[in-house]
Amino acid sequence: MGWIGLDLGTQSVRAVLADSKGRVLSRATRPLTSRREGVRHEQDPQSWLTAVDAVLAEVGTANVDGIAICSTSGTFLLTDRSGRPVTPALMYDDARAAARRDEIVDADPERWATSMQPTWALPKILDLDLTDRQVVHSADFVAAHLVGHAVATDTSHALKTGYDLIADAWPTAAFDKLGLPIAAFPEVVRPGTELGRTSQGIPVFAGMTDGCAAQIAAGALAPGAWNSVLGTTLVLKGVSDRLLSDPTGAVYSHRHPDGGWLPGGASSTGAGLLSELLPGADLNALDSAARSLGPIHAVTYPLTKSGERFPFVAPQAERFTLGRTPDDLHTYTAILQGVAFLERLAFEHLQSLGADPVRSVSLTGGATRSGYWNQLRADVLGVPVELPAVPDPAYGMAVLAASGGTDLTGTARELVRVDRVLEPRGDRLDTLYGEFVAELDRRGYRG
């Protein structure tokens, strides 16, 4: 008995095969390439299928009871009626149609004035000819390949395409105003719904976006438990019994497969700044040295590009540093502290909207390789942080497949294991944190 999770990332496709005790039996990965030109970002959808076939062959599909797929939130393509691609995949961060956002908001201001972001899928769809075409998210395209026919999408992948999660329907009146034919959009089902079966008879279940998949892998599926994914950028996901309304538009929510909501947001800050400001540096050596240096009275607002999305929306935001960073070690430490401060500010913003108090935070993403950073984040947040044993989004999809669309929270409780728990120490760097927030306000970034 086992389940496979597939993760269609930006740089690779990954597969994880897990058993009923939560053990990883095998893994596989294949690289992907992208085309970037200015604000445009595309991939070849055929490359996903080639990579998926390769990783499934490597992990093996004998005695597998289910497969689920996650992909980057907002990535889509158009196909013809037979399912053949007629466009490249337009990626989650492609901003070619940013100018169309206002037109979408004008079609339904109450719905989209504070939620629609310029890089979401819907502004890009507005620029495309949908005649005899179908909008297909990346996970749906791969699922259709596996089962041999077109499939429904899920509520998670449909969010940035404009799906109304409250009404559980496409907003037909708004689409009519925008000239978007409803027939071009897929049926939508709940994550965990069976979409079809492979030629081997393996069920393929509707998945979720990669941020939600990481949250499942971290087991953060009950109110008060949060998942913080720190890689190139910072993404926070949590749980709320009720929908959080954010007038700033920084926070948006997915549907929890078990009921309720998964609020969170994606920042433009993160570990990506380390490679930009410290090219070629030995980050492991810097991490060891930072332990001895300890906290410093300097902090960098660690934007990887201009503009911020979360925990506030500020298109004009730029990176800055408070205090002195005379060498690589101080630069490194200031960046780490800046990310920890943004994380703390994000949780404060979420709680101001009515989210449950933070009880624990599961840390996932590539930055968890830094033991010093993990402890620093626990200290600044002032709550325990947990390091899951298998933090991969692909593993989260294996857990979702194992749930079969029933009691995902209980299934995760059985399959997700915590490797370590780091308790917060005394120093939350409150003085420097206050100076950092004051500087954000002085620059007008928080509205």
Q: What is 119-177 written as a DSSP string?
A: TSHHHHHHTS--TT-EEEEHHHHHHHHHHTS---EEHHHHGGGT-BTTTTB--HHHHHH
Helices (H), 278-429: 283-293, 328-352, 371-381, 393-403, 408-415
Dist CA 64 CA 151 (whole Å): 20
3-class SS at 83? coil
pLDDT of res. 76: 98
Whole-angstrom Cα Rg for the chain: 21
Q: Residue 441: pLDDT above 80?
A: yes
pLDDT tier at 1, thresholds 50, 70, 90 = confident
Is the Cβ–Cβ distance between 9 and 31 less than 8 Å? no
Question: What's CA 200's distance to the chain center, in Å?
Answer: 31
Per-residue confidence (pLDDT) for residue 26, from 0 to 100: 97
pLDDT class of 115 with cuts at 50, 70, 90: confident
Q: Return d(Cα 7, Cα 213) in angstroms, integer.
A: 9
- Give the CA angle between residues 433, 434, 439 to the nearest 5°: 100
pLDDT confidence of residue 294? 85
pLDDT over threshold 80, residue 447 = no
Range in 100-104, 228-232, 368-372 with the lowest mean pLDDT: 228-232
pLDDT at residue 245 above 80? yes
Top-tier CATH class for 2-207: alpha beta
Instruction: Give domain limits for the chain.
Output: 2-207, 219-411+418-442
Bridge pairing between strands 203-205 and 225-230 = unpaired
Per-residue pLDDT reduced to its tens digit, 127-184: 999 999 999 999 999 999 999 999 999 999 999 999 999 999 999 999 999 999 999 9
Mean residue pLDDT of the chain comes to 95
CATH class of the region 219-411+418-442: alpha beta
- The arithmetic mean of pLDDT across residues 63-91, rounded, is 97
Tens-place pLDDT, residues 377-431: 999 999 999 999 999 999 999 999 999 999 999 999 999 999 999 999 988 999 9
Per-residue pLDDT at 305: 84
- Whether 328 contacts 365, CB under 8 Å: no
